[in-house]
Amino acid sequence: MLKIENITYAINGRPLFENASAVIPTGHKVGLVGRNGTGKTTLFRLIRGELSLESGAISMPKQSRIGGVAQEVPSNEVSLINTVLAADTERSSLLAESETATDAGRIADIQTRLNDINAWSADARAGSILRGLGFTHAEQQQPCSAFSGGWRMRVALAGVLFSQPDLLLLDEPTNYLDLEGALWLENYLGRYPHTVIIVSHDRALLNRAVGSILHLEDRKLTFYQGVYDTFAATRTARLAMADAENRKTEARRAHLQSFVDRFRYTASKAKQAQSRLKMLDGLKTISTPQEAALKRFSFPKPEELSPPIVVLENASVGYDDKAVLKRLNLRIDQDDRIALLGRNGEGKSTLAKLLSGRLEPMDGRMTTSNKLRVGFFAQHQVDELYVDETPIDHIRRLRPSEAPSRLRARLGGFGIGAEQAETLVGKLSGGQKARLSLMLATIDAPHLLILDEPTNHLDIESREALVEALTAYTGAVILVSHDMHLLSMVADRLWLVKDGHVAPYDEDLQAYRKLLLSSDKPADKQKPKPAVKRASRDQVLGLRSDVRKCEERVTKLNQMRDKLATKLADPELYEDGKAGEAEVWQKKYAEVMNALDRAEAMWMAALEKLEKATG
């Protein structure tokens, strides 16, 4: 159990925590959420003991191990698999001692302990984690120096997952993962045997990998049972209730003040006026949490072009005369919303560069509208901003003749206020830099907007604002993202990039997710293998009955979930004296969500059995 008791801490005189408390039960998976800059990463450093509290205490059971991804692994000649194996320092130490130990009793103790910690399956476990994070078996044997910083961050993540600390602290772990890696991590964390706290703005991850939410706001910590959507509904209801109470208080205050103003100096009413003054002093407004600053994105509107805006005919593209993608026959219209699916290294970024004009076709033909403008945002562009210049300087370079007021208006349309507009980019937050990069990418009102991991530095409110902006946008959108929520809300077409080809993916994102989680090579399962032996008619009927029963159970659980969500959104549930009742309903909701996950898995398994039997 992790206990945070009345902690207070400030940075440069700015308080981040004031008498904040929370208790994290052992084995819980918890999402730590809050606006950017509120102190989530600082809380991790306080838990690890890297910073000293001004007051209060943070405690865990003795000998508990705390682990997290502090930085990428060094660029050395040690192989990836050995780097991950070395992360379990106890195993490494025991193995080293076993080579030199001579005392029979100590040798027996070492072997017993190695057996207890499953040391002999370590290579397989480490390889499985690396594979889940996107490394092939051959790549696992290569030295760390062969990989870029982003990939070495994955190795660092693999190492801490392999070492299985008692408390696992993960700060935005999906920022350096692709969709496939993020989905694997989501599934892995759900089965992790110890306590996990995750700082994340990934709504899908917070709805699937955790069962509780720890909210950091107004320098306080509040623990909520249930996944993120449950937390959001509960918090919305509490805010609505507090707002209603405040309106009542203000109306009462106005009424009392009116009486005081009228009769304060009237002798016959003086006592009553004084009494009402005391009542006014006793009226307290319920403190509502500080809401995030205005979150918005205002994409300029492009003029309409005749369809199609891009056509690829038998095109190939690659590098140094080596084709990465071949025989591309694709069409894009201005109203398309397309998500690119596929594992890292299959060619998603190569396709994005081809469509944006950064690469030319090696053969075949790419035809575009004469007036086509393309906007391109890639995560690395955030790091390519000029750190010693302001956002105003950046935009002035592109629009030198525009008035300063117009330049500020453009920045304001992306949530960059007057103060940030004159701040050096090097001092801006990651989210503010991402907003600036998005503004620069869309300044010409592109007809085709290509976004490669646009949400990495954005908080949840900003991600929702981006969803709204892209939904209203009148140009075509190509998305590469690990954010399932963003993809599901924006994309209406899916393209799968695999084995050098790009083709429409006819299933939905949930089907793709299940395929990824069902096998190390999910794409191979798209073509079901024929059954060795045809099932009998009675067997097929039985399997169809199983599928029908599973489907009915999923439907019933969905109905139960909707009813519970409605109940949790009722402000009356959070009135004084009903805290216990609210907790009961939140627990029921969490139980139904867990049951729904299991029911969906059983349904998919039943469908696969039926498909094999009738294949």
Q: Among 237, 147, 227, which residue's Cα sits nearest to residue 566?
A: 237
Q: Which residue is associated with the tokens 């092939």?
A: 136
Residue 271: predicted pLDDT? 58
pTM above 0.85, yes or no: no
Q: Which residue is associated with the tokens 């955790």?
A: 210
What number is the average pLDDT over the span 84-113?
Answer: 82
Q: Among 51, 49, 78, which residue's Cα sits nearest to residue 66?
A: 49
pLDDT by residue (tens digit) across 77-90? 889 999 998 888 88
pLDDT by residue (tens digit) across 525-561? 344 433 344 456 566 666 776 777 777 777 777 777 7
pLDDT by residue (tens digit) across 184-236? 998 899 888 899 999 988 888 898 899 999 999 889 999 998 898 888 888 77
DSSP string of 332-347, one letter each residue: E-TT-EEEEE--TTSS
Residue 35: predicted pLDDT? 80
**How far is it, in rounded angstroms, from Cα 467 to Cα 296?**
10
* Mean pLDDT computed over every residue of the chain: 82
Q: Which residue is associated with the tokens 């594979």?
A: 131
DSSP string of 543-611, one letter each residue: HHHHHHHHHHHHHHHHHHHHHHHHHHT-GGGGSTT-HHHHHHHHHHHHHHHHHHHHHHHHHHHHHHHHH
What number is the average pLDDT over the span 363-383?
Answer: 88
450 contacts 374 by C-beta, under 8 angstroms: yes
Burial group, residue 556, by CB count within 10 angstroms (0-12, 13-18, 19+): middle
- CA geometry: angle at 179 spanning 547 and 48, to 5°? 110
pLDDT by residue (tens digit) across 281-330? 655 544 444 444 445 788 889 999 998 999 999 999 999 889 999 999 99
**How far is it, in rounded angstroms, from Cα 343 to Cα 135?**
10
**How far is it, in rounded angstroms, from Cα 324 to Cα 329?**
15
CA 140 to chain centre: 26
Torsion angle of alpha carbons 536, 537, 541, 543, nearest 10°?
Answer: 20
> 10 Å Cβ neighbour count for 379?
19
Residue 270: predicted pLDDT? 61
**How far is it, in rounded angstroms, from Cα 549 to Cα 54?**
58
Residue 351: predicted pLDDT? 94
Name the percent of the chain lying above pLDDT 70: 85
**How far is it, in rounded angstroms, from Cα 502 to Cα 19?**
55
Is 70 exceeded by the pLDDT of residue 72? no
Residue 394: predicted pLDDT? 93
Which residues touch 88 (CB under 8 Å, ≥6 apart)?
117, 122, 162, 163, 164
Which residues touch 474 (CB under 8 Å, ≥6 apart)?
301, 302, 304, 334, 335
Output the six-digit token pair for 137. 């078996």
User: Using 50, 70 and 90 to split pLDDT, how confident is the model at 47?
Assistant: very high
User: Using 50, 70 and 90 to split pLDDT, how confident is the model at 340?
Assistant: very high
Residue 293: predicted pLDDT? 41
- Strands 363-368 and 310-319, bridge-based pairing: antiparallel
**How far is it, in rounded angstroms, from Cα 98 to Cα 149?**
35
Which residues touch 131 (CB under 8 Å, ≥6 apart)?
137, 140, 520
